[in-house]
Amino acid sequence: MEKQPTLATGRLILRPFNLADARTVQRLCGDYAVAATTLLPYPYPDGLAEIWITSLCEGVERGEGMGFGVTLAREGSLIGGVRIQIDPDHARGELGFWIGRSCWGRGYATEAVRAVIGYGFSALGLHRIHAMHFSRNPASGRVMEKCGMVHEGRLREHVRKWGVYEDVDVWGIVNPPGAHRMPV
């Protein structure tokens, strides 16, 4: 896998995370509303952002995936993240994403996820990309739907969040037949 690129959309720059982002990551992910709709812990412990960012960099080096810091193109401020974990044996990727609560409802998640899906198909040569969200968080499902993903089902009590078993909805998209594919 190639070195992680920077991706640009109309309003966003998606770039590799760096350790200078750790304080902002901790603040954004430490918001109860963000943690409640993801697998993020709450409270978000000191030092975890640094460990997570380091693991993303190591994952890129091993070809296991990429984590993009979602930043506003004009200000450069970090507002969220999109991660794609890669399974090269099956040419597929799993997406995860979060956006800071102050930026919800503005289409940033859709714009960022769409860019990473496009990159996964065009540059990484993936055949399939999938993602999951808590069934009680339909906003994430709307992001996936807007990005062309298809609802594939619901896994009942699939994950445990704060001691409660949660249903998750699964979404996927397959690279269209005949689309240009490069090897992973």
pLDDT of residue 108: 98
Residue 178 or 46, more confident: 46
pLDDT at position 4 is 95
Burial 104-128 (b: 16+ CB within 10 A, else e): beebbbbbbbbbbbebbbeebbbeb
Predicted pLDDT at 176: 77
Q: How confident is the model at residue 2 (pLDDT cuts 50, 70, 90)?
A: low
The arithmetic mean of pLDDT across residues 34-46, rounded, is 96
What beta strand segments (E) does the chain contain?
7-8, 12-16, 65-72, 78-87, 92-99, 128-134, 150-161, 164-174
- CA gyration radius, the chain: 16
Q: What is the pLDDT of residues 67-81, one digit of tens each?
A: 999 999 999 999 999
pLDDT at 66 over 80: yes
**pLDDT, the chain, mean:** 95
pLDDT at 180: 53
pLDDT of residue 1 exceeding 80, the answer is no
Q: Which domains are present in the chain?
A: 7-174 (3.40.630.30)
